[in-house]
Structure 1
């Protein structure tokens, strides 16, 4: 159970530290108790997030945050819990202060409960500092409480603050520590993070995986240190830690992290990226440092992980820095270089859009248009341009681009892209009431084999009734139906049912290959008045063979389901009764089958 008093001991350490950092940086705003125990707040992170927390006394009943984190409690909720607790403590101190004033003024009308509290405070046990074993005392103090005390005490006692800095910080920043290589230290975190797991196939430890929890816990410390170095204007150390964090995550990321809800590599990349931006914007950062950052980011951006898994947009970070430290022409040169280097990558269109945005920002509309035309072979760019033309109601130009896209897709044999362009054409034709083009496009989409029933129904409303049967027959001849049946709908069978084509449906069921039993169970009842006798014979033949070849309860359950469907046919109950009697005789030793057949 999470409460305002114990959440620091329950929340995962990484999440707790992030939440505390957000709170101490003043990221929590608009804190409000809308009704008793119902708190809301806004927490500024990558963007502003809304947090809602329900309390019953000190107990946290529930929480909600609209951030994308899909693990347990998130850092924004934790920051809000700190704020609520701090708010409650302020209220308590305020009440106590008022009580003291009343007492000083000689007010005799103090509540009994308040009197008890004052007596408890006055009766606090006194002790002699000389008698206290500090080490023993520290052994049961929570680290968070100790940290809070050190911060509060150092803020009011200059002598203690100086001693603290001399002990832990001056040494870190001294000349003797200048040779400290934070890059190597971060690399070692990853190199030393492999743990062995016992293989289920061998009696030895031979399955190695990375201890990600330990990795990111140590990265927390380095990123905190980098942030502190930035405040002390130790910029080279901040740069080294932030850049190496991005590099090491990119070089070592693996699929295991995709399934770990408690660890988000993206969070650490964002922290490192934010630090780099702060360094670039710092007044004491030299041009040489900025150029070095940009050059290394170019290398990091080439790490495939950042594109394959979309964990962090290094390109966007690079573009922001690029624009802030170089002329527009130099920034465009960098984008053109990246476009050439990544001409075969699937996310090339994102770089194209960045270049277009940059050109538009410089009022270079013609160059932006030329860039779009140059990269129209990318489906994302073509789709963007088509939708832009549709918004402007430039439909003929949009159709021209779509026809070009269809021809290109056919050459490349990208059927999915062809379907996408046809759907956009259909939208245009429907919007402009071009009925003949709507019919042609629906027909092509039906033949392409996707969402066929949707286009079948549209066409049925558009084709004159007297022409419909011929049109449908000709269209269906162009579709290579596979005759596959499962418990999903079969398009060919669905059309025969709707068109009341009993003979064609029966032929389809008779000739079904894989999944014939499922085909009968789905569609045989539509033919009960015309083909019951033949369908019952098919059922019996299939079930006899099925029972002979398959042993196990799941197969017996399937037999029972099929028998229930068979009963729906004319004469089906009599046939089922006889078949069940035969199974009881032949398979009397299959107790699980006998249990399934009891219902008949």
Structure 2
């Protein structure tokens, strides 16, 4: 950021910055990376799409002099490419303003002109202009499509989407930013489809949905959709199809049309290779098959898919289709066939779970436990620890129904102190099974066991101190049991400000002065280790929180900020962030 800017303006900034940075900023500007540009009485703000979305602000005087500028990117130099892109955008906007007619011009000149033109003149203009402007012709035909049944709206919508694909694709690839913009425009078209559906024009809504789906599913194979924008658009299309086929106002003719479309389209494996939309569409397909009595067609579809899945070596998809077939056979009353398939597919978790549920409902706990035990063995053989845990929770469920207190406590403790996280819910359920006096002995033993286990697991690791490992493992217990003194004994040995402040609310009422003594040196350590703007912002955030917690001691925090400012005069991003504390 600058604050004097006397020789720095919109007219000469290109001469004031390095050629490399200027080129990068210009590229961002020309690529349309500057978004949401706003002017608030000379204070301009915008967002710039880079590797992330960065916030930029620029303050101008009336003579276009640049008084201040700011960007929250990590760049430490004089001016970053994001600010330069915004300067270009501001200059462009100001030029546009100059071109706007002055006061006194007719505000409704265009509307007045429309009123003066005759219907014949309209026709002559449209007939002459439409061949020269394909976008206008396309929009015109779509708007008036209901006036002429010969107009193929499917082709028109396809042309629109293909044009968008071409617009946002470069060298056979759609990048991150382009994917977002493309998805935004497709969603606008899909929203139009929802509008048609609301008006019960299901035919036009279905045309939009099918065209958008078929084109989008191809695009997702060659794009960067790490933002999830295209995936969300496909889910949006799926919801439109669902509203057309399964909504309260859905008609039989449309149910038939949607069923036929899905029966054909879902033979393409691409729908199941990217995201969950293929499975969402399968749910619609299956529901329709039940509603409109297309039993054999649906079962034939499943049977045609299963051999293909074996060849594709796709266990998840194969399990999904087998489970769908079983559920469908049950739904249409063909229990015997469903039973045969269940026996053949007991390795599928969902199939086995359904049988466990049935056994529990029948209070046949022995059978239920046998089924779960077999499921655990299968999961262990496949090395699926998550599935093992899932089955163990079924054993807990059964133990609760059988009032097996020892087994209940075993699983409560296991799930409370999972190796990857601490569960406060299971901890409290475990505690509730003991009287207060017995619990004291239980928890002390547990703390001792965790300490031994954590120390052994740490094994002199260089990545984290033993104290930090013990703090992570024991702090949930100390907080829940209000063992504040023990918690502070571990916290006071830490030097990382973020780790210390994590326990601020748990300790501040008992150890306020001691905490402040820990915070001050830890802030300086954080400042010494910070190397980019996001870390500087985190540092300043911690400073603000400490000053808020200790308003009478804020000078101590300010002293740290001053010390860091003096120590690192060549870190402009740090100095810029520290202003929030020093001003």
- TM-score, normalization by structure 2: 0.51
Partner of 2:400: 430
Partner of 2:350: 380
Partner of 1:129: none
Selected match of 1:507 from 472, 485, 490: 490
Selected match of 2:445 from 445, 470, 484: 470
Measured against aligned partners, the alpha-carbon deviations of 1:320-367 in whole angstroms (never above 9, x if no partner) come to 569979884x76454233233335264555433432244336654343
Distance 1:207 1:413, change over 3 A: same
Gaps of 5+ in 1: 1-131, 140-164, 173-179, 200-205, 231-238, 283-289, 568-572
Deviation at 1:434, TM superposition (A): 0.7
Partner of 1:335: 302
Contact 1:297 1:318 in 2 (8 A): no
Gaps of 5+ in 2: 1-115, 124-144, 171-176, 459-463, 567-574
Selected match of 1:457 from 428, 435, 449: 428
Partner of 1:402: 372
Selected match of 2:337 from 367, 373, 383: 367
Contact 1:294 1:321 in 2 (8 A): no
Deviation at 1:441, TM superposition (A): 0.8
Deviation at 1:524, TM superposition (A): 4.4
Partner of 2:543: 559
**Structure 2 matches for 1:259-270, cutoff 5 A?**
264-266=236-238, 269-270=241-242
Deviation at 1:502, TM superposition (A): 3.4
Kindly report the root-mean-square deviation, in angstroms, between the aligned alpha carbons of the 2 structures: 5.8
Whole-Å separation in 2 of the counterparts to 1:537 and 1:213: 55
Contact 1:300 1:314 in 2 (8 A): no
Partner of 1:544: 524
Whole-Å separation in 2 of the counterparts to 1:371 and 1:338: 16
Deviation at 1:381, TM superposition (A): 2.9
Measured against aligned partners, the alpha-carbon deviations of 1:161-192 in whole angstroms (never above 9, x if no partner) come to xxxx9x955xx4xxxxxxx9998777545433
Whole-Å separation in 2 of the counterparts to 1:520 and 1:369: 55
Structure number, greater radius of gyration: 1
Measured against aligned partners, the alpha-carbon deviations of 1:538-580 in whole angstroms (never above 9, x if no partner) come to 444323323555585653341243366679xxxxx8xx58845
Partner of 1:492: 474
Whole-Å separation in 2 of the counterparts to 1:566 and 1:221: 56
Contact 1:484 1:512 in 2 (8 A): no
Question: Is residue 212 from structure 1 mapped to residue 212 from structure 2 by the alignment?
Answer: no
What is the number of equivalent residue pairs in this alignment?
398
* Partner SS for 1:193: helix
Measured against aligned partners, the alpha-carbon deviations of 1:184-234 in whole angstroms (never above 9, x if no partner) come to 7775454333364799xxxxxx958645268659989999xxx9999xxxx
Deviation at 1:439, TM superposition (A): 1.1
Whole-Å separation in 2 of the counterparts to 1:441 and 1:346: 29
Measured against aligned partners, the alpha-carbon deviations of 1:504-546 in whole angstroms (never above 9, x if no partner) come to 75135525768333246355447639xx76x665444323323
* Partner SS for 2:417: helix
Contact 2:202 2:254 in 1 (8 A): no
Distance 1:556 1:514, change over 3 A: closer
Whole-Å separation in 1 of the counterparts to 2:509 and 2:188: 62
* Partner SS for 1:299: coil
**Structure 2 matches for 1:115-130, cutoff 5 A?**
none
**Structure 2 matches for 1:263-302, cutoff 5 A?**
264-266=236-238, 269-270=241-242, 278=253, 296-300=264-268
Selected match of 2:281 from 313, 316, 327: 313
Deviation at 1:435, TM superposition (A): 0.2
